[in-house]
Chain A
Amino acid sequence: MAIAGAGQLNLHESPCWGSRSVDCFEKLEQISEGTYGQVYMAREIKTGEIVALKKIRMDNERGFPITAIREIKILKKLHHENVIKLKESVTSQGAKDEQGRPGKCCPIPINNLLLGATKYSPAVDMWSVGCIFAELLHGKLIFPGKDEPEQLNKIFELCGAPDEVNWPGVSKIPWYNNFKPTRPMKRRLREALGNQEKAPATATTRRKGQTTEITAFTASCRLPPIQSGQAHAQMRPGPNPPLHGSQPPVAAGPGHHHGKPRGPAGGPGRYPANGTNGGFNHQNHGGGYSSGPYPPQGRGAPYGSSGMPGAGPRGSGGSGYGVGAPNYSQDGPTEVLVLDVALT
């Protein structure tokens, strides 16, 4: 069969990959522990270089986890100052399999799927993206549930409980009645994410801007469509009065669908209260979403009509929710990632 010849695919490879043992490194301390393994700070014995060592846990049933294969492959190809460099992968022998904490939850909770909905649509992915943004901002899992009911509860606590008002059709989703919260809960996402001050001071003002942005982002996607055809309509801001009340619905232009859900929430001046309009956008040019899906031209007019004070020209800063926050101090061992393939 006609398949790409091997030589055509992997042209630039270093021959030493995977040939060294983890014994070349001296573990200094454990930095963190994720779902798939632990991360250590380590020193390469020969050079004294400080690296991060991520240990991949082998799945006894299925061998090398596919997520790890993808992670390694992608990390190898990424070269960017804000993305950790994958320096090398090393192997280790022997039974070093430390079982991770059982019951650790998937970091990407999916609201309507947890309720038993079977329709999968772009809004579900948008929800996941919102969660990831919020986690980047928060610095830890935002919905750390041990199991599904607990996770749902965490979601309701933070985002408010869904009902027919803010999520038309929710009562028809299979398990809604089983998991319906017993007491009414208010949405307090903005309070939860907006008040933490753990980030370096350099990023604080920009972070404030981001907080609201991301909060809005999560909110606008919180109500996933029941029918996939409605995806765009529902992902557009609108059904959430506290955040989008003053926002007129956006005329659905011919733009592609990634652009639409986020359209109006961007722009400096959308959140005049925080007073950081000038601050939070600079440095984000060209990063993340700032420049991609929202071309400055031709999009300005409809958003300007929302009557925000100080709504500057749309093109000046993009929509400004690039999450990069490139100013986080990076004196930790963030330069290199060495993967430790533990075989059991």
Chain B
Amino acid sequence: MRRSKENNPGSIAAPNVQDRFLERCTIIRKKLQLVGMTAMLLACKYEEVSVPIVEDFVLISDKAYTRKDVLDMEKLMVNALQFNMSVLTPYVFMRRFLKAAQYEKKLEFLSFFLI
């Protein structure tokens, strides 16, 4: 989740996807990272133009999980969340406010660091 948040609305929505899933389903601790990864995958799909491929997620988990694990978890999550992926995040407001404030790069970085 510590990816650059500026220009990356997916990483802002991901924790929300994860939280809503964990609220509904109990999973074993070993799979917590898998949930996080898959939440990121789903959130990126919904929010971003270009989406990381499943293989990328397998790699960043140091191959702790397989592609099948990710896809299975994805299926479980979309069903648990009833396909409700879109959430209103601070990203949307921040973009708008920054524009209104005629922002500079420095302010932009600070803002996205804070949210």
Contacts and interface: CB of A to CB of B under 8 A. Distances in A.
Contact of B79 (A1, A18, A66): A18
B83 A6 contact: no
B53 interface: yes
Contact of B53 (A1, A62, A66, A343): A62
B45 A69 contact: yes
B115 interface: yes
A66 to B, nearest CB: 4
B87 A66 contact: no
Contact of A3 (B42, B71, B83, B89): B89
B46 A69 contact: yes
Interface residue range, chain A = 20 to 34
A20 to B, nearest CB: 11
Contact of B16 (A3, A63, A64, A89): A3
Given A3-B89, A10-B84, A61 B53 contact: yes
Nearest to B91: A1
Interface string A4-26: 10110110010001110000000
A10 B82 contact: yes
Given A9-B84, A10-B84, A63 B20 contact: no
B18 to A, nearest CB: 11
Interface in B63-84: 67, 70-72, 74-75, 78-84
Contact of B82 (A7, A13, A60, A62): A13
A61 B70 CA distance: 11
A106 interface: no
Interface in A46-88: 58, 60-64, 66, 69, 72-73, 76
Given A4-B88, A341-B75, A72 B83 contact: yes
Residue among A6, A17, A76 facing the most chain B CB atoms (10 A cut-off)? A6
B54 A61 contact: yes
A6 B74 contact: no
Nearest to A89: B79
Interface of B: 12, 15-16, 19-20, 23-24, 41-42, 45-46, 51, 53-55, 67, 70-72, 74-75, 78-90, 115
